[in-house]
């Protein structure tokens, strides 16, 4: 139950689903040519109804929207088909917490106005949380975080996992790197993270699958 709760209500997933959640906006115009009525329908993400006067928030919204456009199809495919929870992809979006806060506030408002758990359930269903929860359960999706999975695998052999994250500047370009060491030995090194947590999650994911492959190839004994 604890893993299911973490998997379904963490800020990264809620933030992503808020970005996917849209309303249909109807616009009516009068044609300047023949005065005919023109009705158009546009899909508008709910998060764009967020009101603020902060230039910093506006910059964060724009940057998040750009990352979302690039990554959304991969994440949607993972949610629909992957046997593993998309921790690394969601972390790569680096969605500010005020996106998930918006959904929590809306859900709270529905509860205050209606006092009905059924109405709240309808909102959780519409945004996509309950459909994903049902797929997690029916398809036995692995929702463990990559760091936890790597720690469990290394623990079988009494080895410690260490993450070393650093910023490097190459050809004038700043990049974030993370090395994963298991038992003092470097297993993988990855780059391209938008923040330390994302690059460490991505590194843990790669290290886990590499060591799991080695374990399977060596009759359940991790290769030295």
Nearest to 94 by CA among 2, 37, 15: 15
Residue 12 CB coordination number (10 Å): 23
Which residues 6+ apart lie within 8 Å of 24 measured at CB?
A: 41, 42, 43, 44
- The Cα 109–Cα 102 span in angstroms is 11
Query: For 4-16, what is the mean pLDDT?
Result: 91
Identify the residue with better confidence: 217 or 166: 166
Mean pLDDT of the chain: 89
- pLDDT number for residue 222: 54
Query: For 122-136, what is the mean pLDDT?
Result: 94
Q: Which of 32-36, 59-63, 123-127 has the lowest mean pLDDT?
A: 32-36
- pLDDT number for residue 181: 94
CA angle 124-12-85, nearest 5°? 85
Contact 202, 190 (CB under 8 A): yes
Per domain, the residue ranges of the chain are 2-138, 146-217
Instruction: pLDDT band for 172, please (50, 70, 90 cuts).
Output: confident
Query: What percent of the chain is modeled with pLDDT above 90?
Result: 63
Instruction: pLDDT band for 219, please (50, 70, 90 cuts).
Output: low
Identify the residue with better confidence: 222 or 93: 93
Query: For 72-90, what is the mean pLDDT?
Result: 94
- The Cα 32–Cα 109 span in angstroms is 42
As its CATH architecture, domain 146-217 has 2-Layer Sandwich (3.30)
Give me the DSSP letters along 121-184.
HHHHHHHTHHHHHHHHHHTT-B-S-HHHHHHHHHHTTT--EEEEEEEEEETTEEEEEEEEEETT
Query: For 147-161, what is the mean pLDDT?
Result: 92
Whether this prediction's pTM lies above 0.85 is answered by no
Residue 178, strand partner residues: 165, 190
Q: Which of 45-59, 76-90, 207-221 has the lowest mean pLDDT?
A: 207-221
* pLDDT at 8 exceeding the cut of 80: yes
Backbone angles phi, psi at 159, to 5 degrees: -120, 145
């Amino acid at each position: 139950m604890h893993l299911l709760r973490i998997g379904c209500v963490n800020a990264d997933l809620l933030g992503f689903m808020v970005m996917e959640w849209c309303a249909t906006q109807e616009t009516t115009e009068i044609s300047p040519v023949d005065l005919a009525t023109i009705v158009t329908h546009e899909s508008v993400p709910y998060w764009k109804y967020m009101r603020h006067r902060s230039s910093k928030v506006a910059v964060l919204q724009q940057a998040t929207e750009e990352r979302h456009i690039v990554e959304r199809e991969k994440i949607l495919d993972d949610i629909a088909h992957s046997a593993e929870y998309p921790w690394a992809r969601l972390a790569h979006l680096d969605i500010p917490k005020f996106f998930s806060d918006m959904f929590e506030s809306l859900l709270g408002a529905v509860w205050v106005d209606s006092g009905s758990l059924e109405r709240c359930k309808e909102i959780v269903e519409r945004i996509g949380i309950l459909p994903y929860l049902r797929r997690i359960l029916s398809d036995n999706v692995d929702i463990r975080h990559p760091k936890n999975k790597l720690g469990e695998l290394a623990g079988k052999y009494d080895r410690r996992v260490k993450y070393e994250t650093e910023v490097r500047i190459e050809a004038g370009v700043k990049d974030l790197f993370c090395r994963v060491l298991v038992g003092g030995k470097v297993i993988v090194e990855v780059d391209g993270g938008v923040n330390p947590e994302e690059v460490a999650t991505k590194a843990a994911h790669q290290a886990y699958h590499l060591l799991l492959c080695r374990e399977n190839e060596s009759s359940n004994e991790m290769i030295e």
